């Protein structure tokens, strides 16, 4: 079993080492591959720097990474790194992706823009188990607290494997004995900052950003983290709402074209029958021979 460790803060972040150690403790063969430079806010963008059509990759390790763990700095966004890993770019494709530990919480609407979460969601679309981990500080000091929570949350993720879901973990930047525990939490209805347009003239815009009051929804992930709880939420990659009654129409001639295509494939109008070319008989779906 293999685990990919990535992030959006870059290959020099100590949070990578914490996650690598936790994955190794669970028996995973670990590879680290993270952006060469910070890629915060990249979401699930697939961007990279190429040299003659080849993605630029160099061997580089985060501080304190144990000997024997392969590590790469990649000039690409975390989602692209995850995509490359899924196709064998850093050895056999991983079974598990741990993304983080991010500097700053990824709660509420912030999950939409997060490169940390984007990498985990990209992993999910490729059938891999995934967890995104964040510390609620722009300059964290308690990486070990995040590691402590990850260890416990990771056991649940591995015992309840479902690659269609992504675990999003947010941890207060406090000593272990000062967090209140770990709680399931809904996403807050707001992000980490409010953006406003300060000026708009002569072809330029000036934006200002102010922090949000994370305590205004006390039972949300943002509110609980602000009060000292680590939080866990399950996210899903984009899915269609197939139950919605949406408008639809069919142009004249489209049905005839569709039926002609189905006949050429040996299907009827409902696409439920095929022609057995051996004896020219008709077999329904229930009549397929055993392989």
Give 230-261 pLDDT, tens digit per residue. 999 999 988 787 888 888 787 777 777 777 87
Closest CA to 1 of 116, 133, 155, 129: 129
| Domain chopping of the chain, boundaries | 2-236, 254-287
More confident residue, 135 or 240: 135
Q: Which residue has the tokens 């003239």?
A: 201
Closest CA to 56 of 77, 26, 28: 77
Read off the pLDDT band of 285 (50, 70, 90). Answer: very low
Reported CATH class of domain 2-236: alpha beta
Q: Per residue in 239-248, is it b (16+ CB within 10 Å) or e — as a string? A: eeeeeeeeee
* pLDDT over 60 at 91, yes or no: yes
Structure confidence by residue, pLDDT tens digits, 35-87: 998 888 888 888 887 777 788 899 999 999 999 999 999 999 999 999 999 99
Please report, for residues 36, 270, 288, the alpha-carbon distance to residue 291 in angstroms, rounded to integers and kept in the order given. 50, 24, 9
* pLDDT over 80 at 212, yes or no: no
- What burial class does residue 264 get, using C-beta atoms within 10 Å of its C-beta: 0-12 exposed, 13-18 middle, 19+ buried? exposed
pLDDT at 84: 96
Read off the pLDDT band of 272 (50, 70, 90). Answer: very low
* pLDDT over 60 at 105, yes or no: yes
Mean pLDDT of the chain: 86
């Amino acid at each position: 079993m293999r685990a990919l460790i990535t992030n959006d803060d870059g290959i020099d972040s100590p949070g990578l080492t914490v996650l690598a150690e936790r994955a190794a403790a669970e028996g995973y063969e670990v590879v680290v591959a993270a952006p060469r430079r910070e890629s915060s806010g990249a979401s699930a963008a697939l961007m990279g720097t190429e040299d003659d059509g080849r993605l630029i990759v160099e061997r580089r390790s985060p501080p304190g990474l144990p000997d024997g763990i392969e590590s790469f700095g990649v000039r690409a966004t975390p989602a692209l790194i995850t995509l490359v890993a899924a196709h064998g770019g850093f050895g056999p494709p991983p079974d598990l992706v741990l993304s983080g530990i991010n500097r700053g919480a990824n709660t509420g609407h912030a999950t939409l823009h997060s490169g940390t979460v984007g990498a985990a969601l990209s992993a999910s679309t490729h059938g891999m188990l995934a967890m995104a981990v964040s510390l609620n500080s722009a300059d964290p000091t308690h990486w070990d607290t995040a590691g402590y929570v990850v260890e416990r949350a990771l056991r649940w993720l591995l015992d309840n494997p479902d690659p269609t879901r992504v675990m999003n973990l947010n941890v207060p930047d406090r000593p272990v004995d000062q967090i209140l525990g770990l709680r399931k939490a809904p996403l807050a209805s707001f992000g980490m900052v409010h953006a406003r347009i300060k000026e708009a003239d002569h072809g330029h815009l000036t934006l200002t950003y102010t922090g949000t009051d994370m305590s205004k929804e006390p039972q949300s992930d943002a509110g609980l983290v602000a009060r000292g709880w680590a939080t866990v939420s399950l996210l899903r990659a984009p899915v269609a709402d197939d139950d919605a009654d949406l408008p639809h129409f069919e142009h004249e001639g489209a049905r005839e074209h569709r039926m002609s295509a189905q006949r050429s494939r040996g299907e009827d109008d409902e696409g439920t029958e095929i022609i057995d070319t051996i004896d020219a008989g008709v077999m329904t779906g229930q009549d397929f021979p055993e392989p």
